[in-house]
Amino acid sequence: MGKIKDAINKTSVPAGLLSPEISAGDDNRDTALRPHSMDEFIGQKAMIENLQVFIEAAKARKESLDHLFLTGPPGLGKTTLAQIVAHELGADFKVTSAPALDKPKDLAGILTTITANAVFFIDEIHRLKPAMEEMLYIAMEDYELDWIIGQGPSARTIRIPIQPFTLVGATTKAGNVSSPLISRFGITCRFSFYDAKDMEAIVRRSAGILKIPVEDKAASLLARSARGTPRVVNRLLRRVRDFAQIKGGQVIDLKTVEQALNKLEVDSLGLERHDREILKIIITRYAGGPVGAETLAISIGESVDTLEDYYEPYLIQAGLLQRTPRGRMVTALAYEHLGLESAGSAGGLLFNS
């Protein structure tokens, strides 16, 4: 058991390999693989079909599209969809993130120069400061800005008209967005993890753009190993292409994918080494759980925030881990995936099957 902890403490998570977050340099590489129209967008079928109706109706009326709220885990296409909406509307696209908006004048500078019916995208909108939210309320509803001129007794408020626009707010933490702000969005789109069929389609499309053929079985394995996240599968595809290129392969076949994933320590469920060690620690040290988050975080040498925000979401989504009122517990599927049997008929002992 001591070896498990030592391995965890000495082994760092691969540099964003399976992380849905954007790592340094990823944004530019992902741009070439991003779809540029609704027809190219794979997955989220019902949401896309509804959006197409709303966009066509807004274009027919020659009005700005209603404000759009995008929520869901990172790496599923929120920024891409915002760009596609602007493209489909034939409108200008302005982009920023909430942390970059430090003072009201920053937001006012963008809104007063925006063109008619433009799409204004704010990423991480849950991190907007209260002063910025209050300014947005009037801008979203009345297409005006409240601005204070002067100081003290001579101060007065004037309203500055701005062009009609579509605000697209994206967040991975919808629960942290204030209710008054959410209520001002007319359209809400909730992204979910992609199923295997859509992930395979993304692999084939990206492989075509990268100009390297991929066999069906290889595409299927890559799709299953990418956590249902397009950004992750594109990142894995680029790494597998590297292995295929060095070995002189002109096509990505099943053997190449298996060898690459083995070298990258990624298994068929998309678990990294750290993920598997977390499950093993719960099983070997805490009899499968329950174990508290703080205790588990200390055991793996990570902070509670890292455990809850990075490791646990996919383990729970994959059905390998449960959060209960008493703590974290592994599931029967985790024992099966790791090749372990739970204590029971074995007299309280754990052993490899």
Weakest mean pLDDT among 12-21, 52-61, 162-171, 278-287: 12-21
In the residue annotation, 267 being an active-site residue is answered as no
The set of residues, in sequence order, having a beta carbon less than 8 Å from that of 301 and lying 6+ positions away, is 5, 8, 9
Bigger pLDDT: 126 vs 350:
126
The one-character DSSP state at 310 is I
pLDDT in tens, 181-210: 999 999 999 999 899 999 999 999 999 999
Does residue 33 contact residue 26 with C-beta atoms inside 8 Å? no
Q: Indicate the helix (H) or strand (E) that contains 332.
A: helix 332-338
- And the tokens for 210? 């990268």
Does residue 234 contact residue 197 with C-beta atoms inside 8 Å? no
Rounded mean pLDDT of 232-236?
93
In the residue annotation, 3 being an active-site residue is answered as no
* pLDDT score recorded for residue 8: 34
Residue matched to tokens 């070896």 = 3
Cis omega before residue 99 (within 30°)? no
* pLDDT score recorded for residue 11: 35
Question: Within a 10 A sphere around the Cβ of 293, how many other Cβ atoms?
Answer: 15
Check whether 327 has a pLDDT greater than 60.
yes
Taking all residues of the chain, what is their mean pLDDT, rounded to a whole number?
86
In the residue annotation, 123 being an active-site residue is answered as yes
Kindly state the greatest CA–CA separation across the chain: 82
* pLDDT score recorded for residue 4: 39
The catalytic residue among 231, 235, 276, 280 is 231
- And the tokens for 116? 């008619």
The catalytic residue among 30, 34, 71, 78 is 78
Q: 216-224 and 230-246 helices cross at what angle (nearest 10)?
A: 130
Rounded mean pLDDT of 161-175?
93
* pLDDT score recorded for residue 18: 67
In the residue annotation, 188 being an active-site residue is answered as no
Q: How confident is the model at residue 292 (pLDDT cuts 50, 70, 90)?
A: very high
The catalytic residue among 79, 80, 229, 256 is 79
In the residue annotation, 157 being an active-site residue is answered as no
